[in-house]
Amino acid sequence: MANLAAIERIVAAKRTLPGALLPVLHDIQEALGHIPPESVPLIARELNLSRAEIHGVISYYHHFRQTLPGRHLVRICCAEACQAVGGEALAEHARTRLEGSDLTLEPVYCLGLCAIGPALQIDETTLHAHVTPEKFDALMAALAADK
Ligand code: FES
């Protein structure tokens, strides 16, 4: 399987680093878009860790994804400064709007726009500030038109 070969190469390249698990997981997600379930036994064997330890790290860090993302990845800041200016309502609005869509919604904890929240990021590249539910809908309409 192509994924397993790629995962083996990534693990082999990083296995001797101290604390190799996080760099390995980052590289796998960067290469494959997520951490495939079949990678866990391989990582466990090569890094001499238990599968439970690896699952624990994957689920602890919101950054790691266990399924492939949708056509676009939408991250909404759930940290305190954004929450204080409507981030929670925005996240709830986004959950409702994106249910069943081909867009993936993820929480993120600070995008560096704390003074101009609520903040949102699209596809790791585009940041938006002062995002209201109305602005969110306009951004999602622009993404939908960009097929
Ligand atoms: S708290 Fe939301 S961008 Fe920093």
Q: Is the pLDDT of residue 146 over 80?
A: no
Confidence of residue 112 (pLDDT cuts 50, 70, 90): very high
Q: Which residue has better confidence, 117 or 102?
A: 117
Return the number of other C-beta atoms located less than 10 Å from residue 119's C-beta: 26
In this prediction, residue 8 carries a pLDDT of: 95
Using 50, 70 and 90 to split pLDDT, how confident is the model at 124?
Answer: confident
CA of residue 41 to ligand 1 center, whole Å: 36
The pTM assigned to this predicted structure is 0.70
How is residue 140 written in tokens? 């999602």
Question: How high is the pLDDT of residue 119?
Answer: 98
**Domains identified in the chain and CATH numbers:** 2-60 (no CATH), 72-145 (3.40.30.10)
Cα atoms found within 13 Å of the Cα of residue 4, Cβ hemisphere only: 5
- Measured from the CA of 87, which atom of ligand 1 is nearest? 2
Ligand 1 centroid, distance to 89 Cα (angstroms): 15
pLDDT > 90: what percent of the chain?
Answer: 80
Beta-carbon contacts of residue 45 (< 8 Å; ≥ 6 apart)? none
pLDDT of the residue at 63:
85
Cβ atoms < 10 Å from Cβ of 129: 16
Cα 113 versus chain centre, distance: 18
* pLDDT digit string, tens, across residues 61-78: 988 998 888 889 999 999
Question: What are the tens digits of pLDDT across the range 21-63?
Answer: 999 999 999 999 899 999 999 999 999 999 999 999 999 998 8
* Ligand 1 near 116 CB (within 6 A): no
pLDDT at 2: 64
Q: Is the CB of 81 under 6 A from ligand 1?
A: yes
- Quote the distance between the C-alpha of residue 125 and its chain's center: 13
For the CA of 78, the closest atom of ligand 1 is: 2
Q: What is the pLDDT of residue 125?
A: 84
Q: Which ligand 1 atom sits nearest the alpha carbon of residue 114? A: 4
Mean pLDDT of the chain: 93
